[in-house]
Amino acid sequence: MAGTAPAADTAGNMFFIIGNGDFDTNLNAQGFPSNGNCGNCFVKLTTSGGLKLADYFTPQNTVAESNADEDFGSGGGILLVDVTDSTGTVRHLSVGAGKDSLIYVVDRDSMGKFNPTADQIYQEISGQLGGGVYSMPAYFNGTVYYGAVGDALKAFPVVSAKLAGTPSSQSTHTFGYPGTTPSVSANGTNNGIVWAVDNGGILYAFDATNLTTELYNSNQAANGRDHFSGNKFITPVVVNGKVYVGTPNSVAVFGLLP
């Protein structure tokens, strides 16, 4: 999952995405892999009575993806806040994507398991990410932000418990391998800023409501004042008005000048 952590809900269930591996296409009566092999799966583990597989989702072409090293476990997943659909039903959703460039939205109460002919999943979005995902999305104020390989940073609003089929805005800058894991800072729901690091060693700041508006990048200052060494899988951390960026041998700290 590109170094990202598992997620957990208030009931103590854990959620994560597994990379390439064996998957038993023969299922038991409950729809779980007959021998317990769940490679290339979006997994829900229960912690009630000990750790065990409670639910999962894997694409209908899961074996072919693993054989071709196209697993969607290359990216991390996030849990969304509770959302209400058009019928008034409260949905508990999670979002993940990987090397196949598809965005998978699962219902955490019924993830879809495995179907050999068609994915039985809450929502699946294709054709909107320009490359594979080796990162984790961010969520802020009803919007999911994705930074795939060789692609712009893109914003996907959540409307009536569905992820928008096309991005509402995207950055003019594109991020090379391995894409970018964004972070968001804000004053409540106001003044949102999406922070993202390019593998080349540049920190970017975008307006969270319109990613075409670039507020800052660390290549703007003269004489290389804000330069730092690039690295893979960097997630900027924002605390108390400062942005912390891990480099190969240090931590770079960005903040307002006096």
Residue 258's pLDDT band (cuts 50, 70, 90):
confident
Q: How far apart are CA 123 and CA 103, in angstroms?
A: 8
Within a domain: residue 247?
A: yes
Which pLDDT belongs to residue 117?
Answer: 94
User: Residue 225 class from Cβ within 10 Å (0-12 exposed, 13-18 middle, 19+ buried)?
Assistant: exposed
Tens-digit pLDDT profile for residues 72-104: 899 999 999 999 999 999 999 999 999 999 999
For residue 202, tell me if it sits in a domain: yes
Q: Is the peptide bond before 178 cis (omega within 30 degrees of 0)?
A: yes
Please answer whether residues 244 and 251 qualify as being in contact, where contact means their C-beta atoms are separated by less than 8 angstroms.
yes
Residue type, 53: L
Q: Which of 113, 131, 135 is nearest to 26 (CA)?
A: 113
- Let me know if residue 59 belongs to a domain: yes
Tell me the per-residue pLDDT of 161-203, one tens digit each, with 9 for 90 and over: 999 999 999 999 999 999 999 999 999 999 999 999 999 899 9
CATH code, 163:
2.40.128.630
Q: Whose CA is closest to 197, among 171, 214, 218, 215?
A: 218
Q: In angstroms, rounded to a whole number, what is the distance separating the alpha carbons of residues 72 and 74?
A: 5
- Class of residue 103 by CB neighbours under 10 A (exposed 0-12, middle 13-18, buried 19+): buried
pLDDT of amino acid 49: 87
Q: Indicate whether 166 belongs to any domain.
A: yes
Q: What is the pLDDT of residue 3?
A: 87
Structure tokens at 241: 């008005």
> Does position 38 have pLDDT exceeding 90, yes or no?
yes
Token pair in block for residue 220: 């703007």
Mean pLDDT, all residues of the chain: 95
Number of domain units in the chain: 1
List the beta bridge partners of residue 7.
15
Tell me the one-letter amino acid at 204. Answer: Y
Domain assignment present for 2: no
Q: Tens digit of pLDDT for each residue in 216-247?
A: 999 998 888 899 998 888 999 999 999 999 99
User: Quick check: is 1 in a domain?
Assistant: no
Do 225 and 234 touch, CB atoms closer than 8 A? no
Per DSSP, helices labelled H in the chain are 62-67
pLDDT digits (tens, 9 = 90+) for 131-164: 999 999 999 999 999 999 999 999 999 999 999 9
Q: Structural domain of residue 178, as residue ranges?
A: 7-254
The single residue listed with the structure tokens 């004042």 is 225
Cα dihedral 131/135/136/142 (nearest 10): -40
Domain contains 226 = yes
